[in-house]
Amino acid sequence: MSHCLNNYDGLCANIHGHSYKLFVCLRGEVCQDKNSSSYGMVMDFSHLKKIVQSEILDKFDHALIIEQNSPFIEQVKLMDTKKEIVDFQPTCENLVLHIKEKIEPLLPCGVELFSVKLYETASSHAEWNLRDVICCK
């Protein structure tokens, strides 16, 4: 995915890309109902993967994420390329919060989003968890 940062005094002001890695962690009780298809699970991995695929990966994978007031926006709108125009600065921290907002309402009853961790590079990531946003480098 590519992005660029507004009013940023550095190389990330340019349109550039990263090989992001996303980790989503859930919390809940393991289902004990032997008649349920979720028996022995907190949530079926395939159900979670479908949510992440449709809400996040289908939109962001190999796309340019750009803020609506970016100085590049008019040129980008004319480009025949996959893009997502957002109303926030597309930093790792803001992307984590956006991903949290998209996934959380689609989880089944009794399953709680515990953390969302997004690696921008192998050594830089941002994380939201039940307590706070934590940035690590």
Contacts to Zn ion by CB under 5 A:
12
Smallest distance from the beta carbon of 36 to Zn ion, in angstroms? 43
Smallest distance from the beta carbon of 133 to Zn ion, in angstroms? 17
- Which residue's CB is nearer to Zn ion, number 113 or number 126? 126
First to last CA, the chain: 20
Rounded Cα–Cα distance for residues 99 and 128 (Å): 10
- Which residue's CB is nearer to Zn ion, number 12 or number 76? 12
- Which residue's CB is nearer to Zn ion, number 12 or number 134? 12
Q: 118 CB contacts (<8 Å, ≥6 apart)?
A: 20, 21, 22, 23, 92, 95, 96, 99, 125, 126, 127
Smallest distance from the beta carbon of 93 to Zn ion, in angstroms? 12
